[in-house]
Structure 1
Amino acid sequence: MSRNAEIAALFEEYADLLEAQDVEYKPNTYRRAAESIREYPTAIEDLASKGQDAVEEIDGVGDAISSKVIEYVDTGAIEELEGERAKLPVAMDELTSVEGVGPKTVGTLYEALGVENLADLETVASAGEIQEIKGFGPKTEQNILSGLEFARKASERELLGDTRPLADDLLDYLRGHDGIERAEVAGSIRRWRETSGDVDVLAASDDLNGVIVAFTDWGRVERVIESGENKASVVANGIRVDLRVVVPEEFGSALQYFTGSKAHNIRFRNRALDRDLKVNEYGVFDVSDTNEEGQRAGERVAGRTEGEMYAALDLAWIPPELREDTGEIDAAAADALPDLIEEGDLRGELHTHTDWSDGTESIDEWIASAETFGHEYLCISDHATGPGMVGGVGLSDEDLREQAATIREAAADAAIEVFAGVEANIDSEGGLSVAEDVLEELDLVVASPHSGLDMDSEAATDRLVAAIEHPQTDILGHPTGRLLTRRPGLDPDLQRVAEAAADNGVALEINANPARLDLWGRAVKVAVEAGATVVINTDAHSPAEFENDRYGIHTARRGWAGPADVLNAWTASEVRAFVE
């Protein structure tokens, strides 16, 4: 396993510590380098072994940063980072997990009140000390207190973007073991929920103990929590991973049982009871007869596969993403389950950012990357100036005109269809942060909320509906603005938003960034049932993020969406007709 993510995280911490001390320019340099290092396809330790010139092949990595990379690979520490930690001894990640608390706020709170961690922050906020700091006030203090509660709950959950790759790595490892017949992820990760408490994996083998030994020898294991005859728990990448091993003939029943959800399994079990059947992790049992002692005999009738389990109850097999007790049992009984969108159905990407704003690639590079990825079309939609844009990220109206001309010039020679677009900011009243005449010149407009995300539900709904009703809006981007485990975002009336989108021909975005997944499964289902179109966008700032489309696809599946419901599963000409 490469150390790219590990080293990238160190430079992000370094950037935060510098920003907290009001250092200019350098924080952004380190953040850009961190992003490039994290996404670089070669293990950075391999580059480090070849010297600084090799490390400097990474975009945004110069002499100062490459020397620190080599220093860390060789010694396990970066002297300058240790020095910054000594100057500002705070739990930066912990504190900045609170909505409204950024690195500069952390620096101010440390200097003024000695705040080093969440416990300190709660103490001073509860005592009313924060509002006494110049530039703060009672509202800021109350917002921090509210954010503390959310951060504390969120810290108990792991992002799907962290757990699913870890689970996939474990599955690859286990499936390469001779004694394992089958291995699958289970639990909420198999249902593609946006967060989970841990990673659950199930394996089928006649050599239970051998699999447990192999599991605890997995290269990512940091610590073994417990190890028994047929199950074990470890910590890997800081995340708890639980493995259960069953004999092959019980794999289907165990997989169905441990996938959940609890509500789905209760509904499934009750249907079994209505048919004189009993279901558990060991199989489906016929309990219609009694033996000589008057006890139910319990002959096992299914369990080797999940298909057998559902068929025994006269049900079609139900995709894991639907197993939330939202009508899937009745639909399976009526053979009316939807034909869900699949990985590979997407034809293009309609929300990306170039180096004109905060992306890493030029327009030409983006077009080439999209073509290589297999996209048939691409929309370049850089940030416009407006509410929520800081650090000079957003483009002015003049910039957008110039960029649109550049995009169209590049598109003329492209093998794929290219849309000139923008991600406009939605103000507090639902207006867009780009002039009307500029919006009219563009091919596609993504309108997104980036600020004012703490308004009440009614105001939030009115704001989003107003943005949807704007005649130039084509896509409502990440509709709530939430960041999973960091901020809750807006809480609109989803039904009103979906109906407005359906009425105005505006697509509602499923932002596939695993830190967002906004819309989410339940919201997608509301949208689809209202007749609205959804669109799965990665909001990519670098080509590697195209791979995040799978998180969006499975989120769409959780919302019962099929290819006909998803804008970018359509052809380029169909998309152009939709936005025009």
Structure 2
Amino acid sequence: MTTNAELAARFEEFADLLEADDVEYKPRAYRRAAENILAHPSPIADQLEAGNEEAVENIDGVGDAISSKIVEYVETGEIEELEELREDLPVDMAALTRVEGVGPKTVGSLYRELEIQDLDDLEAAAEAGEIQAVKGFGPKTEQNILENVEFARTIGQRQLLGEARPLADDVLEYLESVDAITETEVAGSIRRWRETIGDVDALAAADSGADAIEAFLEWESIDDEIESGPEKASVRVGDVRVDLRVVVPEEFGSALQYFTGSKDHNVRLRNYAIERDMKLNEYGAFDVSDVDDPDAGQRVGERVAGETEAEMYEALGLPWIPPELREDRGEIDAAAAGELPDLITQGDIRGDLHTHTEWSDGNNTIEEMVEAAAERGYDYYAIADHAEGPGVVGGMGLSDTEILEQVEAIREVDAAADIEVLAGIEANIDADGEIGLGDEVIDALDVIVASPHSALDQDSAAAADRLVRAIENPAVDVIGHPSGRLLNEREGLAIDASALGAAAAEHDTALEVNSNLRRLDLWGSAVQAALEEGAIIAINTDAHQPATLEYVRWGVHTARRGWAEPADVINAWDLEELRNFLH
């Protein structure tokens, strides 16, 4: 099956290859199409296979030329023009551009000058001092490349949560339709909502494992069968490996707990069980108080739980622990003390405080974005387009004069809207911690999100000083995507979440969990550290079109991984509480 993520990846590659060849304008069109394809609420290939070509033509940013390429790829598995571009520039673009400071144009230049095609070539050229000899490069650039090659290798091995989870949902939907299967759920890191995952792990309960596996292998979305047996099967769907394990119904709960992990959580839980004369494994919870050798086998002792996952925790006197918390960061002690958090849910979110429009680098009007927010049932919604400053993509930030003009436009939309529309801006935190907004602009705005976009290679001390200075600025309400990281692309600033949290708590500034699937910044452990210092957070989508307001799903689960409750999240508050908080 051709997934939306797979399609989007092809058009991202299209854009990169065109940019590497110095083609103007087209790369931006292909990137916009890729973003809209990825955010599309339903599988595009399914729509085409059902004969609904209009569904493709109606995707924002997809005109006739791109639409025909989508159809071509779904029907044939390739795009002729893309294949020609690959022949002209035979490089591993995805891997090379994961190196910090290496963009498509750099890849093009290095291929033409040094015939560099992959990470091994790049590393060898940097070690030999060949890159600094190329026009436009120098010793500092070469050293930066050399220092980041290994990181680029490691990050290429995992899928983004936001790209893999929709496939996991499709897997579950199919398995739930199989008569031989009585219960099913995903497991592993994807069930814990980690920001990146290796494979999609699924678990099913069935009286006959062979029948369940046979039915699974009939799923039409499977592109290739890797291996299969009477209880397990591994297949490839698009670019992702999917592993299915089948267990008998009475062991579904214990298997789900075991295969969800994490490993550290399970080790801690098993030790907790041992202290209480219990034994835990994928087959159940066993009372071994009367057993001479508890290690004599997997099913030793009296089996007291295993049919449901909740039973596995109840057998130890614990409440069920949400999967997002199972990282051995204190969750078992909290459960034992009755102090597990009442985690935030998507239904608690009342608005979005960081979104964009066509005034800067978004794709839609203020009215269209507000209408989409109202349809989601939000109480309030903020437009926060980019202010001008270092690192803003394509130089598309707004000047102070343009910001004031936009505030007037937002006020007009607010007067006619069914929800409260706030006038905001995403200011840039420069290398010294300044945000570059005039007093008149600050006074006119309702909410200011300040984010780092440049100088993301600062050392930890400089990064800390920079972000704390922005936090201390009385005009700043929210620090947006604090590290500036892009998953699988760049590491961003090395931040101390505890120190940031302490500063944010002192100055009543919120720290953002940016829900964009390529950011998820702050991440779970950082959120937890900040909250422990008394900070509060905002869960924003950074949406650039209506469809990406759906990204709030990823942000909420990321915040849950950080133990966030509704009271910790400013955009889960009512409007009066929010306005009292905003500076």
TM-score, normalization by structure 2 = 0.94
> Paired residue for 1:448?
451
| 1:135 aligns to 2:147 (yes or no) | no
| 1:36 aligns to 2:36 (yes or no) | yes
Question: Are residues 40 and 272 of structure 1, via their aligned partners in 2, closer, same or farther at CA, if it must alter by over 3 Å?
Answer: closer
Question: What is the letter of the counterpart of residue 282 of structure 1?
Answer: Y
> Paired residue for 1:530?
533
SS of structure 2 residue aligned to 1:412: helix
Q: Is the 8 A contact 1:180 1:211 kept in 2?
A: yes
Question: Are residues 51 and 538 of structure 1, via their aligned partners in 2, closer, same or farther at CA, if it must alter by over 3 Å?
Answer: closer
Deviation at 1:463, TM superposition (A): 0.5
Q: Is the 8 A contact 1:384 1:425 kept in 2?
A: yes
Deviation at 1:208, TM superposition (A): 0.9
Question: Are residues 36 and 561 of structure 1, via their aligned partners in 2, closer, same or farther at CA, if it must alter by over 3 Å?
Answer: closer
SS of structure 1 residue aligned to 2:421: strand
> Paired residue for 1:374?
377
Q: Is the 8 A contact 1:458 1:493 kept in 2?
A: no
Inter-partner Cα distance in structure 1 for 2:353 and 2:92: 37
Deviation at 1:433, TM superposition (A): 3.0
| 1:113 aligns to 2:125 (yes or no) | no
Q: Is the 8 A contact 1:48 1:54 kept in 2?
A: no
> Paired residue for 2:546?
543
Inter-partner Cα distance in structure 2 for 1:51 and 1:571: 42
The counterpart of 2:432, out of the listed 421, 429, 433, is: 429
Inter-partner Cα distance in structure 2 for 1:328 and 1:471: 36
> Paired residue for 1:569?
572
Question: Are residues 177 and 334 of structure 1, via their aligned partners in 2, closer, same or farther at CA, if it must alter by over 3 Å?
Answer: same
> Paired residue for 1:512?
515
Inter-partner Cα distance in structure 2 for 1:566 and 1:293: 46
| 1:166 aligns to 2:185 (yes or no) | no
Question: Are residues 44 and 175 of structure 1, via their aligned partners in 2, closer, same or farther at CA, if it must alter by over 3 Å?
Answer: closer
Inter-partner Cα distance in structure 2 for 1:212 and 1:387: 54
Question: What is the letter of the counterpart of residue 18 of structure 1?
Answer: L
SS of structure 1 residue aligned to 2:246: strand
Deviation at 1:9, TM superposition (A): 3.3
Q: Is the 8 A contact 1:48 1:69 kept in 2?
A: no
Unaligned runs of 5+ in 1: none
Inter-partner Cα distance in structure 2 for 1:21 and 1:381: 33
Question: Are residues 50 and 77 of structure 1, via their aligned partners in 2, closer, same or farther at CA, if it must alter by over 3 Å?
Answer: same
> Paired residue for 1:500?
503
Inter-partner Cα distance in structure 2 for 1:258 and 1:53: 42
Worse overlay, 543-552 or 405-414: 543-552
Q: How does 1:85-104 map to 2 (within 5 A)?
A: 85-104=86-105
Inter-partner Cα distance in structure 2 for 1:343 and 1:270: 34
> Paired residue for 1:252?
253
SS of structure 1 residue aligned to 2:101: coil
Question: Are residues 117 and 140 of structure 1, via their aligned partners in 2, closer, same or farther at CA, if it must alter by over 3 Å?
Answer: same
Q: Is the 8 A contact 2:41 2:547 kept in 1?
A: no
Question: Are residues 54 and 187 of structure 1, via their aligned partners in 2, closer, same or farther at CA, if it must alter by over 3 Å?
Answer: closer
Q: Is the 8 A contact 1:147 1:487 kept in 2?
A: no
Deviation at 1:415, TM superposition (A): 0.4
Deviation at 1:451, TM superposition (A): 0.8
Question: Are residues 446 and 236 of structure 1, via their aligned partners in 2, closer, same or farther at CA, if it must alter by over 3 Å?
Answer: same
Inter-partner Cα distance in structure 2 for 1:37 and 1:292: 57
1:437-496 deviation line (CA, Å, top 9, x unaligned): 212211100000011111111111010000111111000000000111111111122221
SS of structure 1 residue aligned to 2:551: helix
Q: How does 1:185-264 map to 2 (within 5 A)?
A: 185-264=186-265
| 1:480 aligns to 2:483 (yes or no) | yes
Question: Are residues 353 and 292 of structure 1, via their aligned partners in 2, closer, same or farther at CA, if it must alter by over 3 Å?
Answer: closer
The counterpart of 1:350, out of the listed 353, 375, 383, is: 353
> Paired residue for 1:27?
27
SS of structure 2 residue aligned to 1:388: coil
Inter-partner Cα distance in structure 2 for 1:55 and 1:324: 41
1:153-183 deviation line (CA, Å, top 9, x unaligned): 1112221112211111101110111121111
Question: Are residues 562 and 3 of structure 1, via their aligned partners in 2, closer, same or farther at CA, if it must alter by over 3 Å?
Answer: closer
Q: How does 1:305-316 map to 2 (within 5 A)?
A: 305-316=308-319
Question: Are residues 276 and 130 of structure 1, via their aligned partners in 2, closer, same or farther at CA, if it must alter by over 3 Å?
Answer: same
Question: What is the letter of the counterpart of residue 136 of structure 1?
Answer: F
Deviation at 1:209, TM superposition (A): 0.8
Q: Is the 8 A contact 1:48 1:70 kept in 2?
A: no
> Paired residue for 2:472?
469
Deviation at 1:59, TM superposition (A): 3.3
Identity %: 62
Question: What is the letter of the counterpart of residue 271 of structure 2?
Answer: N
SS of structure 1 residue aligned to 2:506: helix
Q: Is the 8 A contact 2:2 2:74 kept in 1?
A: no
Inter-partner Cα distance in structure 2 for 1:138 and 1:453: 19
Question: What is the letter of the counterpart of residue 242 of structure 2?
Answer: V
Q: Is the 8 A contact 1:322 1:558 kept in 2?
A: yes
Question: What is the letter of the counterpart of residue 459 of structure 1?
Answer: A
Inter-partner Cα distance in structure 1 for 2:362 and 2:88: 32
Inter-partner Cα distance in structure 1 for 2:292 and 2:366: 75
Question: Are residues 30 and 308 of structure 1, via their aligned partners in 2, closer, same or farther at CA, if it must alter by over 3 Å?
Answer: closer
Unaligned runs of 5+ in 2: none
Q: Is the 8 A contact 1:51 1:70 kept in 2?
A: no
Question: What is the letter of the counterpart of residue 358 of structure 1?
Answer: D
Inter-partner Cα distance in structure 2 for 1:48 and 1:21: 34
Question: What is the letter of the counterpart of residue 349 of structure 1?
Answer: D
Worse overlay, 416-425 or 332-341: 332-341
The counterpart of 1:393, out of the listed 389, 393, 396, is: 396
Question: What is the letter of the counterpart of residue 449 of structure 1?
Answer: P
Inter-partner Cα distance in structure 1 for 2:394 and 2:347: 37
Inter-partner Cα distance in structure 1 for 2:295 and 2:129: 69
Deviation at 1:81, TM superposition (A): 3.0
Inter-partner Cα distance in structure 2 for 1:293 and 1:439: 67
Question: What is the letter of the counterpart of residue 80 of structure 1?
Answer: E
Worse overlay, 201-210 or 155-164: 155-164
Q: Is the 8 A contact 2:294 2:301 kept in 1?
A: no
Q: Is the 8 A contact 1:183 1:203 kept in 2?
A: yes
Q: Is the 8 A contact 1:174 1:180 kept in 2?
A: yes
1:228-248 deviation line (CA, Å, top 9, x unaligned): 121111222222221111111
Inter-partner Cα distance in structure 2 for 1:269 and 1:202: 21
Q: Is the 8 A contact 2:353 2:540 kept in 1?
A: yes
| 1:80 aligns to 2:81 (yes or no) | yes
> Paired residue for 1:359?
362
Inter-partner Cα distance in structure 2 for 1:43 and 1:538: 22
Question: Are residues 33 and 522 of structure 1, via their aligned partners in 2, closer, same or farther at CA, if it must alter by over 3 Å?
Answer: closer
> Paired residue for 2:18?
18
